[in-house]
Amino acid sequence: MESNRQKKIAGILQKDLAEVIQLELKAAGTQNLIISVTKVKVTPDLLQAKAHLSIFPSEKSEEIVEEIRTKKSKIKHEVAQRTKNQLRRMPELAFFNDDSIEYINDLEQAFKGKNDPIKNPDLLDKRKKN
């Protein structure tokens, strides 16, 4: 169970990460993307944070997550500058692709009857867990 401190730090990081990532990708010339930080989980020792990113359009999601991972140190520095009055030490960041929206869309298509997963169970992929 997360402590109140973990939840507070996760909320601060989620807000600041969303802003910084948008600015970094805009500066790199990446356009026509919507990126949101859906969830941030912080370890109990507050030294590591896992950020789950939802990217639209999803065709470029893995490519964008890799680009963000290469800019991790710059993003960490910018977030640390924004949170320097609230955190003693900036946690190490790890970025993951959040594919829950794609999964929900696949389920909706299945319920609409276009693809019946009961008749053909191979239509729905197993969901990846990170």
Q: Over the chain, what HEC string results? A: CCCHHHHHHHHHHHHHHHHHHHHHHHHCCCCCCEEEEEEEEECCCCCEEEEEEEEECHHHHHHHHHHHHHCHHHHHHHHHHHCCCCCCCCCEEEEEECCHHHHHHHHHHHHCCCCCCCCCHHHCCCCCCC
Q: Residue 130 has what pLDDT? A: 58
Q: Residue 79 has what pLDDT? A: 95
Q: Residue 46 has what pLDDT? A: 92
pTM of the model: 0.78
pLDDT greater than 80 at residue 123: no
pLDDT in tens, 50-98: 999 998 888 888 899 999 999 999 999 999 999 999 888 999 999 999 8
